[in-house]
């Protein structure tokens, strides 16, 4: 399934609609063509690949954070799918204009939405565009990428809430649509560059000092919620084996020899206050018990800075490419991290 298949399905939907209005009898019914178009669209949905998958069709959102050339293989926007789904829902909801809109700034601001973006313009620190949603759609979601944090966002001249990702420099906007087209004004904003996906952290230091930004750490197992507020990453174990992954790094094990954590932990009865740090290396990228160190966690419910000597393991060598942190074992452990770093 490629974009041209989706364009073909789109054309079949238009054909189906035209046949519905045609007085001339046809060999195939409108439903026949519609059925084929639906099959192609469903096929495309099922072939969409996840981020980092090397083949198949990437969602457009990749283009927001991942630098690629327009002619790179395998990067196909989902707009073909979305516009077909619109037409399948209602033959009047023609979303041919659905795509990522690039505003001509330096660097370019990119607007992606499940509504149609029209008349996007940037002038004097203000981005303005129209969001047109199809009939019956009450809410839309929009990503405005490559921008600094706006001072305010207005929808039809009313201030609205938005979320901002400091690291990847994009605004997330959820709007309710009372009218067909909503005028969006993003005020006090400038175009800016964003970091690519899978970015390697230059320094192995994570402070958790930006609200809602976990410094690219991810709650891989048994941890929820996973929130950053007021300089602290807070999380809680929801099962027996909680752990989190750090982002990619490239660290010389002979230069960085100590894991430093400032944390506060609360253990429920029955949980084990033994922490564990795992790592992977350039020459050995698989997680294993042999590349880990256990350490006692403080059980007094107070803040402590822990310093863990990583050179006690003979496997701490070469180039370290990622860390994993296990904050004890058991459900209901409340973990607060002020910072994590290698020294
Ligand atoms: Ca902090």
The predicted-structure confidence for 142-177, as pLDDT tens digits, reads as follows 989 889 999 999 999 999 999 888 777 889 999 998
pLDDT mean over 282-288: 94
Q: How many A from CA of 217 to the centre of ligand 1?
A: 13
Between 75-79, 110-114, 168-172, 310-314, the lowest mean confidence (pLDDT) is in 75-79
323 and 286 belong to one structural domain: yes
Q: Measure 317 CA to ligand 1 centroid, in angstroms.
A: 28
Burial of 32 (0-12, 13-18, 19+ CB in 10 A): middle
Residue ranges near ligand 1 (ion) with Cβ within 5 Å: 207-209, 231, 338-339
190 with 211, same domain: the answer is no
Distance 231 CA to ligand 1 centre (A): 4
Are residues 254 and 332 located together in one domain of the fold? Answer: yes
Burial class (CB in 10 A: 0-12, 13-18, 19+), 199: middle
How much distance in Å is there from the Cα of 229 to the middle of ligand 1? Answer: 9
Q: Give the distance (Å) from ligand 1 centre to CA of residue 67.
A: 30
Q: What SS3 state is found at 185?
A: strand
| Alpha carbon of 301 to ligand 1 centroid (Å) | 18
> ω before 300 within 30° of 0 (cis)?
no
More confident residue, 335 or 30: 335
The average pLDDT across 36-65 equals 59
CATH for 190: 2.60.40
Cα of 225 to ligand 1 centre, how many Å?
17
Ligand 1 centre to CA of 274 (Å) is 22
- Rounded to 5°, the CA angle 14-138-35 comes to 30
Contact partners, residue 7, CB within 8 Å, separation at least 6: 80
* Domain total of the chain: 3
Q: pLDDT at position 335, please?
A: 98
State yes or no: cis peptide before 107, omega within 30 of 0: yes
Q: Give the end of a domain, one of 196, 226, 248.
A: 196
End residue of a domain, out of 196, 223, 246: 196
The DSSP-derived string for 60-92 is: TTHHHHS---TT-TT---THHHHHHHHHHH-TT
Shared domain check, 333 and 216: yes
Say whether pLDDT at 197 is over 70.
no
- Last residue within a domain, chosen from 81, 96, 111: 96
Domain that holds residue 117: 100-196
Residue 302 CA to ligand 1 center (angstroms) comes to 16
State the distance from the centre of ligand 1 to the C-alpha of 260, rounded, in angstroms.
Answer: 13
Using DSSP bridges, classify how beta strands 181-187 and 170-176 pair: parallel, antiparallel or unpaired. Answer: unpaired
Q: Is the pTM of this model over 0.95?
A: no
């Amino acid at each position: 399934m490629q974009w041209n298949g989706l364009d073909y399905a789109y054309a079949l939907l238009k054909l189906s609609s035209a046949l519905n209005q045609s007085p001339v009898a046809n060999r195939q019914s409108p439903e026949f063509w519609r059925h084929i178009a639906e099959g192609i669209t469903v096929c495309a949905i099922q072939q969409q690949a996840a981020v980092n998958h090397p083949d198949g069709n990437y969602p457009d959102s990749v283009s927001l954070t991942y630098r690629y050339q327009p002619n790179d293989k395998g990067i196909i926007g989902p707009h073909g799918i979305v516009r077909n789904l619109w037409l399948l829902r209602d033959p009047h909801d023609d979303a041919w204009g659905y795509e990522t809109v690039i505003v001509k700034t330096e660097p370019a601001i990119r607007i992606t939405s499940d509504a149609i973006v029209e008349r996007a313009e940037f002038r004097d620190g203000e981005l303005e565009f129209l969001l047109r949603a199809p009939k019956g759609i009450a809410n839309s979601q929009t990503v405005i990428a490559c921008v600094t944090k706006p001072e305010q966002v207005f929808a039809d001249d009313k201030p609205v809430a938005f979320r901002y990702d400091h690291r990847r420099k994009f605004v997330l906007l959820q709007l309710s649509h009372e009218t067909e087209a909503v005028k969006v004004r993003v005020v006090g904003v400038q175009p800016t560059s964003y970091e690519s996906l899978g970015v390697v952290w230059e320094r192995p230091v994570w402070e958790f000092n930006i609200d809602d930004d976990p410094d690219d750490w991810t709650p891989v197992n048994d941890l929820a919620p996973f929130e950053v507020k007021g300089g602290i990453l807070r999380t809680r174990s929801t099962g027996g084996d909680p752990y989190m992954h750090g982002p990619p790094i490239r660290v010389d094990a002979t230069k960085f020899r100590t894991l430093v954590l400032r944390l506060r932990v609360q253990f429920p009865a029955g949980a084990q206050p033994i922490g564990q740090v795992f790592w992977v290396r350039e020459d050995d990228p698989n997680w294993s018990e042999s590349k880990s160190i256990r350490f006692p966690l403080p059980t007094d419910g107070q803040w402590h800075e822990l310093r863990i000597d990583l050179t006690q393991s003979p496997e701490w060598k070469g180039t370290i490419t990622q860390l994993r942190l296990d904050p004890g074992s058991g459900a209901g452990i409340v973990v607060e991290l002020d910072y994590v770093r290698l020294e």
